[in-house]
Every structure is written in C-alpha cells, then in structure tokens.
Amino acid sequence: QVTLKESGPALVKPTQTLTLTCTFSGFSLSTYGMRVSWIRQPPGKALEWLARIDWDNDKFYNTSLKTRLTISKGPSENQVVLRMTNMDPVDTATYYCARIQGGDYVFDFWGQGALVTVSS
C-alpha cells in the first residue's frame, strides 16, 4: 500500500526558509523509474508543480521558482525534503508530495497535503 505524508511548519514568516518533509511507504525511491514531486495549491486556486527528484538523484525544478527551491532525499531512505527560500505571503498554499511511477510527470499517489501560511 502506497502512502505519502507531508510534514512541516504550518506558519512561516516572510523571508524565512520553508522546509517540508515527505515521508512515504509502499515503494522505494531507489527502485528504477520511481520519482517524487512536490506540488502546491494556493487556497481556491489551481495546482502548480514545484520540483521532482528521481531514483538516480536527478532533480528538476519549476523554471520560475528554480532559484528558491531545493529538493533532496533523506534524512531517512523513505523521505524527500523540499526547501523553499525567501517565503512570501503569495506562497501561502497547501503543499503536496506525490509519487511518479514510470512516466515522467503522472502523479499516481498523493499525500494529504500540508497547509503552509506565510504571515508576519
């Protein structure tokens, strides 16, 4: 059974760095073809893909946010971490992690999401 769960602060201040952790089970990110992505959704708005990390540690980023994002594996082998620097109120959103199996960006399993509010 594949599950993913996001964890991290619910509230961050403007200019701070957000660190979110995705803890997953039911698959291994070491397996060929496995990938994990982060996607966010501002309240009442559409989904926006942020970043992807692959089984071989290749990493890909949304071009408009690339300078602010870092995706990495760990600290445990069933975790993926997303860091986003210089947070702004417009970054207030529910942040999801999702699995990709095989295809490049088809998200077949999603976490429940973590709401992050940016406010002073």
Partner 1 sequence: DIQMTQSPSTLSAAVGDRVTITCRASQNIGYWLAWYQQKPGKAPKLVIYTASTLDIGVPSRFSGSGSGTEFTLTISSLQPDDFATYYCQQYKTYATFGQGTKVEIK
- The site for partner 1 (CB under 8 A) is made up of 37, 39, 46-49, 60, 62-64, 96, 98, 103-108, 110-113
* Shorter beta-carbon distance to partner 1: residue 16 or 48: 48
Query: CB-wise, 13 or 108, nearer to partner 1?
Result: 108
Instruction: Measure CA 13 to chain center.
Output: 19
80 vs 16: CA distance, rounded Å: 20
**Minimum gap (Å) between residue 24 Cβ and partner 1:** 13
Distance of closest approach, residue 13 Cβ to partner 1, in angstroms: 26
CB of 116 to partner 1, least distance (A): 15
Burial code (b: 16+ CB inside 10 Å, e: under 16) for 92-105 equals bbbbbbbbbeeeee
* Amino acid at site 79: Q
Residue whose CB is less far from partner 1, 29 or 114: 114
Dist. CA 80–CA 89, nearest whole Å: 24
